[in-house]
Structure formats: C-alpha cells, structure tokens
A and B are shown apart, each in its own frame.
Chain A
Amino acid sequence: MSTQPGIEKQRVKVKHKVARRNNIEGWILMLPMVIVLYLMIWRPTVMGAIWSTFRMKGYTPHEFIGLRNYIEVVKDTQFLPTLWNTVMYVFWSLVVGYLPPVILAIMINEMVHFKNGFKIVLYLPQIVPGVAALLMWYYIYYPDSSGLLNFFLAKFGIDPYIWLNDGRFTILYIVISMTWSGFAGTMVLYYAAVQSISSELYEAAIIDGAGMLKRVRYVTIPQLSGVLLLTFVRQIISVFQVVEQPLVMTGGGPNGASTSLGYQLYKYGFVNGRAGHAMALGVIIFFILITLTVLYMRLNKKVEENY
C-alpha cells in the first residue's frame, strides 16, 4: 500500500518529462517560423504602432508627439473621401467578385464532360503576374480607340468611352480587373470544399426529388457556409488594403476618385516622405479591419444561433 503513491509520483514524473521533451521538440520545430513571424510581422506591427506616436525624420523616431500623427491623418481633407472610396472597393468587390467563384466551383462540380479542361482555362488568369495583369487591363480600358473595349465598341459604331477616366465608375472597373485576376484562387478553395461534401447527402436529396437548384440550395450552400464566411471576411480584409491597382492603373485618379486608404498610406510612406503619417494610417486601417471582423463574427454567431 505504501509503495502505491510512490509509483504514482514516479509515473507523473515520467509523464511530465515526456511532455516537457515533446514541448521542447515542438518549440524547436516551430522556432524558425516563430522567428520569421516575429521579424516580418509582429515586430514591424508593434514598432509601427509605437512609432506612429513619434515625429519621424525619415524612418527614425525623433520626438514623442502622442496622437498628433493620428489627428493630422484624420483631419486631412482627403481622409473621409479616401475612406469612402475604400468602402466602395469592398462594396463592389462583394457585389462583383464574391459570388462568381462559388458559382463556377459548383458549375465545375456538376459538369460531366471537359471538367479538367474547363478548370485549367478558368485558372489561367491566376498565373498571370499581378502587375502584368493590371497593365493588360489598363490597355483593355484605354480611353481612345486603341483600347480593346473601345475597339469592340467601334465595331458597333459606338464612340470611344473613357472607362477608368470616368470617376463615377473607376472603382467598379478596377474591381472587375481584380476579380478577373483573383477569382480562380478562391474558386479552387470552394471547389475543394464542394468536393468534400458527402455524396450521400446528394443521393438523399435526389431520392427526395430535389433538382440541381434545390440540391445547391439545401445541400451545397449549407455545407459551404464555413468557407463562404471565411472568404467573405478574407475578401473584406484584402480589398480594404488595395494598393497596387490604383497605383498602376490610375495613380489614384481621376481627381482622387480611386485613391484607397492603402494607396494613401503608400503615398505617405514612399512618395511624400511622411513615415509617421503612414504608420498612423496603418494603425487606423488595422483597427477598422479588426472592428469589422469582430462585428461580422458576432453578427454571424447570432444568425447561426437563430437557426
């Protein structure tokens, strides 16, 4: 009887020793990634937030000025128009770009013939290098008769249209080009998710007399809801940071109509030499995105609880 607690103690000791060894091995395995994350993500993020409260000389913090950079960024007469533009980028990207990858993934899943060929064709835009795709779209939208779209309009006797120069719709046209370049990657995600849906569910639906649309409505969509939510949040986050498209295609114009917060940040940091303002705006964007994400997650939780 007296040896029992001793054995138990010994056993616990061995268990801890193994756990500790596993722990250390785990940390060693993770260490390279942790170092990279620290150097490339965590440290710059934290330092950016700290330095955003300093007056910068180049990239050197010079004098602590509290929230002055934030006040100057928010007081900038272009801040609200730029914020609105960014919201419009997100809005149009959800309207134009959110559903096509889902629809295409479902279509491919339902296809019987030429499935692989169709997949390859649809994936081609994804492999066009980013800036090359933007320049291609720049010339597609070119506002004189040498632009591809105007070339087709001319075939129907229609005068050339100014496309990206039309400030009312510049963001929409940019979003169309973004969707073309990016939809294939999302489509693959959806396709993988569609493929993982149990065929028994479809068989049961067919037995119950469900047609293709009903199968999509009652089987596919509910099964994809997790991925749909994920891509929805991802899309908001990535489109909110749009920089390259206005940089390459419009320079933020016409008259600031396509300047996004991300592009404004780029201009602060790399064109106008205002690193403090750039970092303050970065932190503002960070908090806007965190707030949006948390709000959406909570909203979604409530919606799910109701069903």
Chain B
Amino acid sequence: MKNSVTKKHQRMVAFILVCIISLSMCTSCGIKGTVAEKDGKTVISVGSWPQKSGPSLEKIERQKAEFEADNPDVIIQPDSWTFDLKTFYPKAEAGLLPTLYYTFFTELAQVINAEYAADITAVLNKRGYKDKFNPKIMDLISRDNKVFAFPYSAYVLGLAYNTELFRQAGLMEADGTPKQPKTWNELAEFAQKIKQATGKAGFVFPTANNVGGWIFTCLAWSFGVKFIDKNAEGKWIATFNSPECVEALQFIKDLRWKYDVLPANTLIDGNEYYKLYATGNAGMLIAAGDVGKKCAPYEMPVDHIGIMALPAGPARHVTLMGGGVYLIANNATEKQKDAAVRWIEKRGYGYELTEDAKQTIENNIKEELEKGYIIGIKSMSVWAEDTEIEKYKNAMIEKYANSNMNHVRLYNEFVQNRNVEVQPEEPVCAQDLYGVLDNCIQEVLLNENADCARLIENACNDFQVNYLDNLDY
C-alpha cells in the first residue's frame, strides 16, 4: 500500500517536472528571435534609443518618421538597450539583441569571435562601401575577408592636460598653446614641474580593471615592445619578455619612486582615472579625444581641458586607435541588414555628405554643447581618403568651438597629419593581457624593490599559459 502511494507520488513529481521543463523550453523557444517582417515590411529594432524626452529623442523620432516615409518598406522599432558586456551575452543568446546596436573597438573582437555579429559584406558592397573604410579599421572589423561592423567614429590616444595647472607650472605659451613633451622623460619632467608648482600629482596612470594594461600597451609599443606574435605553426606566442618591456615598466616605476609625480592612490580604475584629472588633482593623463565627455560628470570647466600629442618612445612614435562601430545582430535577414545600413546613412554616418548627414553632424555638436562637453577636439577619419563629410565635420567643430582652440591644436594636428604610427589593440586576448599587465603596474607602484624583469617574465609566462595556450584559433 505504502509502496503504491510512494510510486504515485513519484509519478506525480515526475509529471510536474516534465510539465515545467516542457513549459520552460516552450517559453524559451517562444522568445528566441525578433520579428523580421510585419505586413510585408522589414522590421528593424534600433538600440540605444533615447528614453528621456529632449532634443535627442525629438531628433531621432523626426529622423525615424522621415526615414519611414522615404523607405515605406521598413519599420523602425526603438529599443532602449545600450551595449554593455554584462547584459550583452544573455541578450545575444536569447536572440533578443536589437537588429542594430553599437559597441566599441575594445569589445569588437569578443563579439565577432562569439559569432553574434552578422556578416554584412554583401550589403556594404551593394551600397558602395567596398574599399571605402580606413584600412587600419578594416583589419579590426573583418575576418577572412568578411566585414562584420560599420565603423562610425575613430580616435587615437593623446596626452590630455589641465590647462590651469600647466599655466601655474609655466608650461603654457601666452596664446594658450601648451609646451609639448616630446619624450616620456620630458613628460616626467613636466609632471615634476606641475607637482612643484601646484602640489598636485603631475601625471596619473591607471592601474585597475584592465585600464592600466590598455594604456600600458600603447606606451610599451613606443619602447619597441611586441606583445604577441604567431610562430611558424600558427600558434600565438607571448613575446613581451624583452628588455624593452622591462624598460617601459621601469618608466612607470620611476614615475612613483624616482620622479614622485603620481597620486597617492594606486588602485585607479577608469572612473578614478578621469575623476583625478577632472577635479584638478592631476596635471596630465593619457586619453583619447573623448576626454571632455569623460570629464563632464565632474563639471570640469571646458577651458581647463587641453589635449596634445602623445610623446614618442625610444623606438617609435606610436599611438593606439579606438572608436565605435555599429553591429547588426547575427539573426538578421538580408533585408534587415540592408534596412539597417540605410538607417545608419540616414543617421549621418554614411560616406556621402547628404543633407541628413549635415543636419546630424550639426545637431550632434549642438547637443554636446548643451551637455557641457568641450567642442574643438577633432577625431580620426573612419574613411580611407579625405571625404567631404569629414571636412564638413571639422568645419562645424571649428564653428562651434567653445574654448581656446590652441588648447587642443597639437592633438588635432597629431590626429590629422598622420606622422604618427597608429596601431590597433592586440588582435587576441587583449582584455586578458591588460589584466596581467595591471598586476605588474600595481606591483611596481607599491613596491620600491619590485624587480621589473622578474615581473615581466612572470607576466609573459602567465599570459602564455593561462590564455594563449588555450586559444582555439
């Protein structure tokens, strides 16, 4: 009797569990994928749609109405999700990514390798983008001659400085042009002058959450470091256990123990990094052209923001390239891909200087002015050749400049005269490399007796064993 009751219980539990499993599988099947067509029209969802009412939302809603009127075969569906690695993978796996979304160069390799970005080669060729993109950017956005992203902005790292601290340290010309440190040692001397004159840290270098490693790679390239290379069998090998890399790390160590120009805090992530600069507690930092945007939350006066060329190292004058790209979800149909690229063009990021593009460029600058960003810093072109659209953009930047253009002139020349080598991030395991290098940087800044050669040797070994040896490609 008891046995039969137990069996009945077991059967019931099993039945309920089967129901739950089936139900949940059905639910997950149901949510997989987004609607590609409605009433015979192609539907594309567009990420990062503004939520707050205001000029941004009004502008994009107006563009949406115009676009849908000009392209009656397309429906735009707004989606507020903005790229973030923490939410990206679950959304991608559930098939819930917006058809069109954007991310940054730093995350691009992860997304392409995970196969969550659609191959858009055909649609780009069809719409006349073949050979139009900057070849250095093409290397980043393509794999095996297939293009996976549409770049819309590009920048390079420069040397940002606080104009007020520079002035107090006697490092500014009367017209607002800063003195340019030509080498890393000169930079250290400038930093000492700032500290002596103002009592503030002359220079700040990031150390945590992979930001330190990211900046360090650029500095190390200028010392002649090559971080990874493929051997004859096609296997990736860590190659930075070299005197050049030790020398680069020694420079960071000297900033603390020889020149004593760094802030007291050694655990500096991206937020702390910009905060120290924006609040006037650091004279210089290595940053990209978007430094004004990063400093805006701290209400740094735009007149205090300046940026110039990155100093040269003993081996090379090189800088790191970054930027933003549009991606199309991997489950998009050909029609959706085509509609998405048309929408990118409508937004003003296409190759042609259309009326829409002009309007977008001017509106974007006006919006940035309203947000209190500095206007005047120019960026690198995503296109292979000088284009009308780039010329127009630069003209608008000059027209609406809201601080002394001499504060940023050296950076603008640095970006645009192309005398400097521009290098993208390391092609594989870049984030892992940054994490490993973060540890080295923290150690040399905290331990006066740290052995740079041993640290680099261990870091190189760790990077090889923990990451490169596990690569499948």
Partner-B contacts on A (CB < 8 A): 16, 23, 27, 31, 34-35, 38-39, 43, 55, 57-60, 72, 75-78, 142-144, 160, 162, 164-165, 167, 250-256, 267, 269-273, 275
Contacts and interface: CB of A to CB of B under 8 A. Distances in A.
A34 B20 contact: yes
B92 interface: yes
A269 B90 CA distance: 11
Given A162-B266, A253-B208, A57 B115 contact: yes
A240 B263 CA distance: 33
A69 B205 CA distance: 34
Contacts of B266: 143, 162, 165, 253-254
A74 to B, nearest CB: 11
B449 interface: no
21 contacts: A34-B16, A34-B20, A35-B20, A43-B24, A57-B115, A59-B90, A77-B466, A78-B462, A164-B267, A165-B267, A250-B267, A251-B209, A252-B208, A254-B266, A254-B267, A255-B440, A255-B443, A267-B435, A272-B431, A273-B110, A273-B431
B93 interface: yes
Interface in B375-396: none
B52 interface: no
A254 B85 CA distance: 24
Contacts of B12: 23, 27
Contacts of A273: 85, 89, 110, 113-114, 431
Given A16-B5, A253-B207, A271-B431, 4 more contacts: A143-B264, A160-B264, A253-B266, A270-B89
B269 A251 contact: yes
Nearest to A68: B470
A54 to B, nearest CB: 12
B286 to A, nearest CB: 18
A271 B435 CA distance: 10
B439 interface: yes
A23 B411 CA distance: 75
A76 B113 contact: no
Contacts of B431: 271-273
Q: Which 10 A-B pairs have the closest CB atoms?
A: A58-B114, A251-B208, A144-B264, A59-B93, A273-B110, A254-B442, A255-B443, A251-B209, A59-B89, A255-B442
A30 to B, nearest CB: 9
Contacts of B9: 23
Given A34-B20, A58-B92, A59-B90, A253 B462 contact: no
Contacts of B207: 253
Interface string B197-211: 000000000011110
Nearest to B470: A72
Interface in B209-253: 209-210
Nearest to B436: A78
A59 B89 CA distance: 6
Contacts of A57: 113-115
A108 B432 CA distance: 50
Interface in B20-56: 20-21, 23-24
A147 B274 CA distance: 18
B462 A77 contact: yes
B263 A144 contact: yes
Interface string B428-459: 00011001001110110010000000000000
B443 A143 contact: no
A76 B208 contact: no
B180 interface: no
B461 interface: yes
Contacts of B466: 72, 75-78
